[in-house]
Homo-oligomer: A and B are copies of this chain.
Amino acid sequence: MATIKELSIKCGVSVSTVSKALNGYKDIGDETRRNILRIASEIGYFPDSNARALKMKKTYNLGVLFSTMFNHGLRNEYFAHILASFNEYATNRGYDINFIEHNIGNRKMSFLEHCRYRNFDGVCIACADFFDSEVLDVVNSKLPVVVIDHVFHEAISILSDNMDGMRQLTQYIIDQGHSRIAFIHGTNSSVTHNRLVSFYQALKDNNITIPPEYVIEGVYRDAEVAESITQKLLDLPMRPTCIIAPDDYSALGVMNTVRRNGLKIPDDVSIVGFDGISLAQALEPKLTTIRQDTDRIGAEAAKQLINLIENPMATTISNVYLKVQLMRGGSVRNMNPVMGDEESQKD
């Protein structure tokens, strides 16, 4: 690729003048500027990003922490979709993205060291072990940071309104006449905690009490764990009429187990998920779930991060909660007594 020096020779002016014209400085003659811009675009000149970064302390490169632990990462549809929209927004604002890793070739570097090595302008922590000290080091560094699905005091957080989602979902189940509702929740985290709080609150608001055995800790996106827990729930003397899975993928495990027990969905056992991935639509019956708006989560994360980078004093460090949507599928049985011309359901 042509260097600025070659370009300056073609233009018959100095390197400084070319640089200033290209970067929109005002103190350049109109004619000179036009000439430079024209020739630059003719030969397809672009400044070398490395040289530019070295001088300007700005790489236009964002680090994305996208760990594959806990069944997360690119192989997880929810996170892959978030990354897609994050990348689209970032690109539109002129930023590229790199994944943050810690075993780069032979060198073991911490996440933070990788960030410094590459000089990222900012970092998005999309999926990670939020209690890992390496992650905390990044959050506590001077780097602009945005976090998805977790709340740190020191960084901007983007997340779905999980409390509202769980409230809507639970209320919907209750409205369908269920009171024996089991909840397989994910591993402990602030998101999980809030969903649990909201679940219990909705029960309380409706004067429903459930046995403690109905609430069991599972693992997000682990169908096998969901299967064994479901078996336990089905083996209870008084089994639940509805099971809330920690996510849509786990819901598939719940479904399989229910069927393996010779029970029908939703006639014998109702099932709901959380996330609203495409799998939910593919299942038969369609899964009732809460759809998280992955397009907005990713775009909002990128937007907040870039604003924080470019305009730190005009960007507040706060939490952004995004609306969720109840997706009514066919996996929850209506247990209410028939009335009016509502569809009837046999017991």
Contacts and interface: CB of A to CB of B under 8 A. Distances in A.
Contact of A282 (B48, B92, B279): B279
Interface in A101-138: 101, 103-107, 109-110, 113, 116-119
Determine which residue in A48, A80, A107, A284 has the highest number of CB atoms from chain B within 10 A of its CB, and name it: A80
A35 to B, nearest CB: 19
By DSSP majority rule, is chain A's interface helix, strand, loop, or mixed?
Answer: mixed
A74 interface: yes
B94 A96 contact: no
Interface of A: 1, 44, 46-51, 53-54, 59-61, 68, 73-75, 77, 80-81, 83-84, 87-88, 91-99, 101, 103-107, 109-110, 113, 116-119, 252, 278-279, 282-284
Contacts of A73: 84
Contact of A50 (B59, B87, B252): B59
Contact of A54 (B48, B91, B117, B118): B48
Nearest 8 pairs of A and B residues by beta carbon: A94-B105, A74-B84, A1-B116, A50-B53, A46-B117, A80-B80, A50-B50, A91-B101
A92 B105 contact: yes
A98 B101 contact: no
Contact of A74 (B48, B81, B109, B116): B81
Contacts of A92: 103, 105
Given A50-B53, A119-B50, A94 B104 contact: yes
B118 A96 contact: yes
